[in-house]
Amino acid sequence: MKKKLVLLLAAAMAVGSLAGCGDSGSGSGDGGAGTADGGTVTDEEVDPRFKYDEPVTLTSYFEISPAISADWNQENWIEKLNLEMPKTMDELYDVMVAFRDQDPDGNGQDDTIGMVFHNNFLSAGLGDAVGLFNGFGAYPAIWVKDGEDKLKYGSIMEENKAALEYIAKMYQEGLIDQDFSFNDEVKASEAAASGRAGIQYGLMWNANWPLNATVQNDPEADWVTLPLPSATGSEARPQTSPRITGYVVVNKKCEHPEAVVRLLNFWVDKYAYSGDEYNDYLVEDANGVLNFPLHWVMLKAWFPLKNLTIHQHIVEALEKNDASSLNAEELVSYNDIQKYLSGDIVTSYGGMKTFGNDMSAFDTIQHYYDDTLFLMNEFTTGPTPTMGQKMSTVTDKVMEYYTKVIM
Ligand SMILES: [Ca+2]
């Protein structure tokens, strides 16, 4: 096994050398791959596993891992207070009021708020408000079609007004922290971790952090995701952007530009599509978790729906109680979920709530996918010169103005 690892690592590091183009060879968004000494490898020296008899095909080097907002709610508070899961913005508001007023944590003190919220609330992550704006049909900070074959900037859409009025009311009524404008997302997330807030908008990884901390502090706590509530009651559309993480560029002087493609194909064979050899490349880290050590190599490509597929395969395996068809990466999450199901809730919380089958993050993303709800950013090219000069000023001004309206 060790020999294979060394071979693969060496192959990845030597891509410039393999392609015969030295330091100016290939590069990617993660950093240049041209680490070689400029020498050219002869045909006999090339690892036979990189020799493809069939025609070489180009493997795309981008991943679509959209930042999709979901609405994370503390299910145990909803049950305890006999509330319904909110589907509309009005219902969401009522749940927040109940969380503020009805002592959901049962400590007899007036110490809870409705929702996590911070000062960078148009940046999707955790405790932001992007999904809340989407609930009003507003799509701030991305570009949308204007109906006349042109793009318009989402932050100046009329629909933002209703979202801002809603948040301003939340602020006035103490449903969000009064000092939110001083708090970044890390500071704001303490309200979720400490069990002071029961709702936050956030991305699929939130259960790995900080929502796992809520459960560490209170084993009775439980977070679930919901599709974004909407003002009209019809389904809200979560905004997202395609994430191109890098391009592979090959110098035209390269003698063997196809080596780059071969390395990409090798990655896809071994990782993304998990052939039989996959398990041979895994190593156990300090925490006993099996990892593919070349996860961070510079030449890689992801199957666009990889994470959603992991979720689908895990749900199927859970239903059949049979994990034999799972690949190694899926098995890591599946085993984590089995630990959760046998009572190890705290350490395995993220696995269950991200990929599991009980109102997990990907349950909600599957719903968005099935109903074609993603609202993609229509601006898909590089920034214009004007954007380069002025866009950061525009986004600063938008945040300044929005924050003033809320406060
Ligand atoms: Ca309380």
* Structure tokens belonging to residue 200: 């936050």
Write the single-letter amino acid at 99: F
Task: Output the pTM of the full model.
Answer: 0.81
Least confident interval from 54-68, 200-214, 221-235, 269-283: 54-68
Query: Look-up: residue for tokens 């680490």?
Result: 35
**Three-state DSSP class for 283?**
strand
pLDDT range class, residue 282, cuts 50, 70, 90: confident
Least confident interval from 216-230, 247-261, 360-374: 247-261
How many other C-beta atoms lie within 10 A of the C-beta of residue 277? 11
Write the single-letter amino acid at 249: V
20: left (phi over 0), alpha (psi -120 to 50) or beta: left
- Residues within 5 Å of ion ligand 1 by Cβ? 103, 105, 107, 109, 111
How many A from CA of 359 to the centre of ligand 1?
26
For the chain, give the mean pLDDT: 82
Report which of residues 232 and 36 the model is more confident about: 232
Q: What is the pLDDT of residue 69?
A: 77
**Three-state DSSP class for 27?**
strand
How many other C-beta atoms lie within 10 A of the C-beta of residue 60? 13
How many A from CA of 217 to the centre of ligand 1?
15
Q: What is the pLDDT of residue 401?
A: 98
Write the single-letter amino acid at 7: L
How many A from CA of 102 to the centre of ligand 1?
8
Q: pLDDT digits over 292-336, tens only?
A: 666 656 677 777 788 899 999 999 999 999 998 887 778 889 999
Q: What is the pLDDT of residue 349?
A: 94
How many A from CA of 352 to the centre of ligand 1?
28
Write the single-letter amino acid at 340: Y
Report which of residues 274 and 387 the model is more confident about: 387
Domain 70-241+377-406 has CATH 3.40.190.10: yes
Q: Could you tell me which of 5, 14, 23 has the C-alpha nearest to residue 41?
A: 14
How many A from CA of 333 to the centre of ligand 1?
35
How many A from CA of 149 to the centre of ligand 1?
52
How many A from CA of 96 to the centre of ligand 1?
14
Is the omega angle on the peptide bond into residue 210 within 30 degrees of 0, that is, cis?
yes
Residue ranges, CATH 3.40.190.10, the chain: 70-241+377-406
Neighbour-count burial for 327-359, b at 16+ CB within 10 Å, e otherwise:
bbbbbbbbbbbbebeeeebeebbbbbbbbbbeb
